[in-house]
Amino acid sequence: MGLGVAVAVIKCKQNQALLALTTAALSLPGLDAKAAIPVSEAKANFQYGHYQESDNRMKVQIYHADMVLPLADRFELTFSIDQDTYSGATPIFSLPDTMKNQPKRKKGTAIFIPTDIVTSASPVVGTFEVTSAMQAYKIFEDTRAAYIASPPPGATFAGSFITGYSAVINKMVPTGDKVSQTFEPHPQETRNMPILGFNYYFDDVMLSLSGGISDEPDFKSSFGSLNLNWELPNKLTTINFGYTLTGNNISRAVNHSGEEHVHIEDQDYPELDEQSLFHGFNWGVSQVLGKNTLLQLNSGYTRQAGYLTNPYKLVYVRGEITAEEYHDLSEKNKIFQEVTDLEIMGIELFREVRPRERNQWTFSSQLRQYIPAADASVHFDYRYYNDDWGIDSHTFEATWYQSAPGGITIAPNVRYYSQSQADFYAPYFLAPRADGMYSSDYRLSGYGALSGGVTFSKEFTKGFSLEAGFEYYTHQGGLKLGSDSAGDFADYSSYLAHGALKIDLSNPGRLLSGHQGHHHGHHGAPLPAGVMFGHMMENAGDMMIGYKYMMSDRDGDMRFGTDRVSDQAISDNACGSVKCTFKPDAMVMHMHMFNFMYAPTDWLNLMLMPQIINMEMVMEPLKGAAEDDSHEGGHISDGLGDTLMVALFKLFKTTGHKLHLGVGFSAPTANINATLDGTGLADSERQSYAMQLGSGTWDFKPSLTYTGNAKDWMWGAQVSATKRMQSRNKEGYALGDEIQGTVWGGYSFLPWLSGVVRGIYSVQGSVRGESIIANSQSAPNEFPENYGGQFFDIGTGLSVSSPSGEFSGHSLSVEWVQPVVHDYKGYQFEREGTLSVNWGFAF
């Protein structure tokens, strides 16, 4: 090993780095401030993801938007929002196969019903005949029943009964028995996660601060993080430090707590209300190894403390409660807490318990290598994970980014993951554990997973790009590195499909419009936030993205025609031939609409508006009505709404006056089969027409808009309609047609601030046909004749827009629309005010 070899092995230019280091450190005259880390230009990202597991297990729709906005030379704002809607079935516990799906036959019939031994407290009595393996259990139960009916004097339950019981149970789990999972359908739930952050750029250091919340019905989390990124003077090495603090609040949603799966009477456990706190630290270094090579090494430590258990999963533990204790519980009225610390959910079935602390370590490396000959880059990632629950894992991932002509990138990817099982994991427990920790959550078992996917993206010249990708993932016990895998009972697979629209204004195609030459000022007067299709862009090639948020929160009275109406009248008349038992008490609706507009010519604009809707309705029993629990607990529906596609045609324009025509269609992209029980199953009762996310029909939406302005004044008018193009949707009905006229006037108090007032008159038809799948028929909103009417509302609002400078091209408006006069068809829940907020960015 000589000097020559050493130098030849490392093919580098000599000394540049070290020179830079020393001269910079000496701050020689003539050399100015160190070079800065560039601040990015504005960027926005909109992404949709669809995750689906095999066998109708979990299904998740993920909507995501994020943006980075430079606020000053060294300061940028980051914001992201996620909404996940998930439903489907998840495994709740696992049992030896011989204890599951024992056939129970109804006497005198040929019908066999599969039964889990543990879920039926008294499975073998009554009208059911049992077969084979359950025979021994039946004999034991019969004998015990006889003992209870007439206990022999001086005898106790101990002795032969315990031996007999143990013999029966032991026979039921021969060694090497297969494991089966029991699933629980999960009603639809939605999680929202907004995150706000700031980045500040010093000369060589970037400081990031961010915080956010993750909100779902049974888990609320708040988190904040601080990150420091330091580029060393040699500009080849960057050091990173980060800290994240997370606080969580955990509860248990009643509708899928597992209580309805197992039958255990007289439970007296407190409701779940627990906390956990995580401290996470990470540090790393990234190093340029060559012209085409970058390597990053990272390490992290997280300490989790508090309630770390899964509130829904159960475990089968034999021996935790002895046969005598079972007898005492049922015959001598002992309470559960006297017999075990675990929460009882069935015979030998308990809620899982995990430790209240978890220390996690990760070590990872990321290599990025550019291959000039192929104009491609290859990424290799490796992560080693270890925690004090006994789990350690290895993750290997490789992605090849291939550039193709036309701004296209194709990126195939493969990932292999292997983990060992937690110390307290077993598919079921044949004896209690000394430490009292138990989990049968397949995610803590020993297994391997392999996934492969590909992503396509294309960059367009205007600074935006489109992306779509697909990845298939398979979880298999057999793929685990080494031994001790969980076997294949928990195997499943899933796929993740995604699509994204990215806008990056720092693209060469967009760059110079940032500070100079931004000739697309926001022309024309700002519109009221609640008006749709009202604005046309004037120059070919212009684009605009926007977001509109609408919210209404109603908790008023029921109406008929123009009058308030009593509960008695509703009960007698509003539900067709039956008596109503419920009426709406409150309804909250949030609509998020994303607007993408493009002007191919100066007389035509094309718009695409997908939307996401979140609705919640709470019902109240009518006074004097019969008992009914069909609407207990309120109803939610969340998800994608119908998608609007509109073309706007410029008809007429002179100084101060503009007229344009809108020709649009609403595509029925929303699911209209939201069910009362939240499972979305085909034959479950449907929610009412008002709670469905869309119309289910293709709708024609024409509009004619006139706007005028003079000096600081502006005004306008619009006529628009919605005509359903199909007489019935797949559920058997069609919403009513609508027509609306609106007139507004406004004044600009300041160059950037204006106020607007408007009047809106609308006529809506009632629902035609009726839902062919049953809804519960117990409330007025479930009947088609209780929809429609004529309404007059007044809207007031403010608009902010920046004609020049850092924020030119952005506009923000807010409007409150208040119902003033209404004449309802049938019996309806009163309309109340709606808030609209509209943000648009033209570029």
Partner 1 sequence: MKKLLLIILLFLTNFLVKADLIDQAVPFCPAKMNGTTQNIDFNSYKGKVVLIDFWATWCPPCKQSMPFLNALRNELLTQGFEIIAINVDEDKQQALRFLQSYPVDYQVVYDETGECPQRFEVEAMPSSYFVDRKGQIRSIHLGYRSSDQQYIREKITKLLSEK
Partner 2 sequence: MNILYFRSFIVFLFFSLQGCSVAPWERGNLAKKNMAITVNSGLSALRDHAFTSKEASQGGYGGAGGGCGCN
Interface residues for partner 2 in 242-271 (CB under 8 A)?
242, 244, 246, 248, 250
Asked whether position 417 contacts partner 2 by CB under 8 A, the answer is yes
- The region, left, alpha or beta by phi > 0 then psi within -120 to 50, assigned to residue 30 is left
- # binding residues, partner 2 (CB under 8 A): 111
> Which residues lie closer than 8 Å to 566 by C-beta, 6 or more apart?
none
Cβ closest to partner 2, residue 394 vs residue 653: 394
Beta strand 699-710 with 713-724 is: antiparallel
- Spatial strand order in the sheet of 344-346: 314-316, 349-351, 344-346
Could you say which of 289, 661, 794, 835 contacts partner 2 (CB under 8 A)?
A: 289
Asked whether position 290 contacts partner 2 by CB under 8 A, the answer is yes
Cα separation, 761 vs 740, in Å, equals 6
Cα separation, 187 vs 687, in Å, equals 14
3-class SS of residue 192: strand
Residue 328 interaction partner, one of partner 1, partner 2, none, beta carbon < 5-8 Å per kind: none
Cβ closest to partner 1, residue 40 vs residue 255: 40
Residue 30, classified by CB atoms within 10 Å of its CB into exposed (0-12), middle (13-18) or buried (19+), is: exposed
Cβ closest to partner 1, residue 193 vs residue 376: 376
Q: Which stretch binds partner 2 (CB under 8 A): 100-108, 151-159, 206-214, 532-540?
A: 206-214
**8-state DSSP, 628:** -
- Binding pattern for the stretch 537-576 against partner 2, x by CB under 8 A and - elsewhere: ----------------------------------------
Asked whether position 376 contacts partner 2 by CB under 8 A, the answer is yes
Asked whether position 811 contacts partner 2 by CB under 8 A, the answer is no
Cβ closest to partner 1, residue 202 vs residue 301: 202
Cα separation, 129 vs 801, in Å, equals 77
Residue 28 interaction partner, one of partner 2, partner 1, none, beta carbon < 5-8 Å per kind: partner 1
Helix axes 323-331, 160-171, angle to 10 degrees: 110
Residue 368 interaction partner, one of partner 2, partner 1, none, beta carbon < 5-8 Å per kind: partner 2
Could you say which of 83, 190, 286, 778 contacts partner 2 (CB under 8 A)?
A: 286
Asked whether position 288 contacts partner 1 by CB under 8 A, the answer is no
Nearest to 718 by CA among 728, 727, 708, 726: 708
Q: Which residue do the tokens 């012209």 mark?
A: 291
Asked whether position 20 contacts partner 1 by CB under 8 A, the answer is yes
Q: Which residue do the tokens 């990124």 mark?
A: 229
What does the chain come to in residues?
A: 843
Could you say which of 45, 255, 296, 506 contacts partner 1 (CB under 8 A)?
A: 506
Nearest to 557 by CA among 580, 578, 586, 579: 586
Q: Which stretch binds partner 1 (CB under 8 A): 12-20, 107-115, 300-308, 523-531?
A: 12-20
Asked whether position 16 contacts partner 2 by CB under 8 A, the answer is yes
Asked whether position 395 contacts partner 2 by CB under 8 A, the answer is yes
Cα separation, 474 vs 495, in Å, equals 9
Give the nearest distance from C-beta 606 to partner 2 in angstroms.
24
How distant, in Å, are the alpha carbons of 22, 234, 480, 539 from that of 18?
6, 7, 46, 53
Asked whether position 438 contacts partner 2 by CB under 8 A, the answer is no
Q: Which stretch binds partner 2 (CB under 8 A): 61-69, 102-110, 662-670, 770-778?
A: 61-69
Q: Where are the beta strands (DSSP E) in 330-420?
A: 344-346, 349-351, 357-371, 376-387, 392-404, 408-419
Residue 111 interaction partner, one of partner 2, partner 1, none, beta carbon < 5-8 Å per kind: none
Asked whether position 360 contacts partner 2 by CB under 8 A, the answer is yes
- Binding pattern for the stretch 685-704 against partner 1, x by CB under 8 A and - elsewhere: --------------------
Nearest to 190 by CA among 279, 126, 253, 265: 253
Could you say which of 516, 577, 654, 655 contacts partner 1 (CB under 8 A)?
A: 516
Asked whether position 32 contacts partner 1 by CB under 8 A, the answer is yes
Nearest to 668 by CA among 633, 692, 690, 704: 692
Binding residues for partner 1, rule: CB under 8 A, are 3, 15-16, 18-20, 22-24, 26, 28-36, 38-41, 73-74, 235, 506, 508-509, 511-512, 514-517
